[in-house]
Amino acid sequence: MIMLNYMSKVDNVSLNIRVKLQGGNILEKSTVIDKVKDIKNIIDDLSIKVWENPEIAGEERYASSLFKDILKNNGFIIKEVNNMEYAFIAEFGSGHPVIAVLGEYDALAGMSQKLEAVHNPLVPSGNGHGCGHNLLGSAALGSVLAIKKYMEEADKKGTIRFYGCPEEETLIGKVKMIKEGAFEGCDLALSWHPMNANAAVYKAYLSNNSIKFNFTGKSAHAGASPHLGRSALDAVELMNVGANYLREHVIDKARIHYTITKAGGPPNIVPKEAESWYFVRAPHRKDVEEITQRLYKVADGAAMMTETSVEKKLISGCYELLPNDTLFELTHKNMEEISGPEYSEKDLQFALDLQKSINASQILADMELYGQHGKELEAPLHQGLVDKNIGKNVNITGSSDSGDVSWIMPMNCFLTACFPWGVTPHSWQATASAGSGIGLAGMLYATKIFTGIMYDLLNYEELVKKAIAEFKERTKTNKYRSPLS
Ligand SMILES: [Zn+2]
């Protein structure tokens, strides 16, 4: 039995434990991390190919097959997910812990952009990787290749599963995968997202419902017999008015946004069909569910006023990230241990050029969010690590179906700097960054962080047990219920 004084550097007493290595040969962690550079070419090539062939949610045929081929050729066993063509699991090893690494590869419509610092789409109105998922999936894949090599060399017990997760941008892929039982048997999950800061995060993602409201009325000649018509468009408009009044009476942090996706035809025909599309977001799932029910009443009211009928279609729904202190601490510790992204002069210049298209106040607001205000005003890219307490309090206010995974098993989340300060996801500037050396540098850092975390989880059983015990405690009275059920 080999005793190690684990994490003596770490200030968190809960992690400062003495544990034994679970059999196998010893291979220094720093050596394992260092070897990640051997697979850099594979992940650079993969992420660039995916960036050059952007596919939106639900259409990830090319990306998913590329990922599968690499994993298969590297000795992973591929398992399909029922009813989901572009989702898959690639598994290596046996026994516990069973670690899930989440990979995504979908792009966004309208985000096409060349590797230039002025807006110039590769394909007009085409798809583009404005959220950096080409990097997201590739870092996750790189880390499972690296840790597999280590497990083989060190004869290490445990199971690593890469999850090919499609349809993230429509916030539904992992929700469906959970329903299909794809995550059964996993002990914990690891995740990250490209961003403009290097940070372990504790709170992330607003819970969300995406709902379409289809109103049906009666068409009529708008000039000759308007009294015979019942306008579905009127109902959509009245519902929006009601929703806008509702805003005052929901919690501050809730967000309600909508578009009109069908508004009728020419104005001389009373519109029989009209449709609006709503997102309801809030920090906690229970608030989203409650506000959704109130929004349904607004829709019913609009239908009653206009003598139309309404059909409510829940397109998708997802949870916020359930924090896990053990995994948060472990993630931050690994980010401290591993040196951050290394950008070339060319990357730094490209970042500065991209920032010219961004409002200075946005750049400062972004830096302030991560506690960097005034620290690096001259540097366009984050090269340090966000303070642990700031990382613990920062809230990423987008939504992700990754949140749902954190409700069925313990999960971490971290960010690395793949975009310059001021560049937000879902922008052409983010597409340009994600296809450039900036994104590749942030991706390599993410690959190393994943590898380091997995190394610790495979070697220190207590960490796994502690993360699971914490998860069980947090979900004791608040269990996951699929938004789709
Ligand atoms: Zn994203």
Overall domain count for the chain = 2
For residue 409, report the distance from its CA to the centre of ligand 1, in Å: 21
For residue 132, report the distance from its CA to the centre of ligand 1, in Å: 7
Closest CA to 321 of 224, 223, 392: 392
The answer to whether residues 326 and 288 belong to one domain is no
The answer to whether residues 192 and 259 belong to one domain is no
For residue 260, report the distance from its CA to the centre of ligand 1, in Å: 24
**Chain segment 342-362, per-residue pLDDT in tens:** 999 999 999 999 999 999 899
For residue 442, report the distance from its CA to the centre of ligand 1, in Å: 15
The answer to whether residues 43 and 79 belong to one domain is yes
Residue bearing tokens 């959970």: 178
- Domain harbouring 404, CATH code: 3.40.630.10
For residue 173, report the distance from its CA to the centre of ligand 1, in Å: 12
Identify whether the C-beta of residue 236 lies closer than 8 Å to the C-beta of residue 274: yes
For residue 107, report the distance from its CA to the centre of ligand 1, in Å: 9
**Chain segment 258-314, per-residue pLDDT in tens:** 999 999 999 999 999 999 999 999 999 999 999 999 999 999 999 999 999 999 999
The answer to whether residues 327 and 469 belong to one domain is yes
For residue 398, report the distance from its CA to the centre of ligand 1, in Å: 8
For residue 329, report the distance from its CA to the centre of ligand 1, in Å: 23
The answer to whether residues 217 and 199 belong to one domain is no
Whether residue 479 lies inside any domain: the answer is: no
The answer to whether residues 62 and 198 belong to one domain is yes
At residue 6, does pLDDT exceed 60?
no
For residue 255, report the distance from its CA to the centre of ligand 1, in Å: 19
For residue 356, report the distance from its CA to the centre of ligand 1, in Å: 24
The answer to whether residues 282 and 163 belong to one domain is no
205's torsion region: left (phi>0), alpha (psi -120 to 50) or beta? left
Closest CA to 92 of 160, 153, 155, 24: 160
Q: How does residue 14 score in pLDDT terms, banded at 50, 70 and 90?
A: very low
For residue 240, report the distance from its CA to the centre of ligand 1, in Å: 28
Distance between start and end Cα atoms, the chain: 48
The answer to whether residues 148 and 73 belong to one domain is yes
Name the DSSP letter for residue 70.
H
Whether residue 381 lies inside any domain: the answer is: yes
- Which H helix or E strand runs over 281? strand 273-282
Domain final position from 299, 318, 337 = 318
The token pair that represents 364 in the structure block? 């400062």
Strand bridging mode 255-262 / 309-318 = unpaired
- Domain harbouring 226, CATH code: 3.30.70.360
User: What's the domain range around 236?
Assistant: 207-318
Closest CA to 357 of 77, 65, 120, 22: 120
Which residues does residue 292 pair with via DSSP β-bridges, in sequence order?
none
pTM of the model: 0.90
Peptide bond into 483 cis (omega under 30): no
Backbone torsions φ then ψ of 188, nearest 5 degrees: -155, 165
The answer to whether residues 333 and 370 belong to one domain is yes
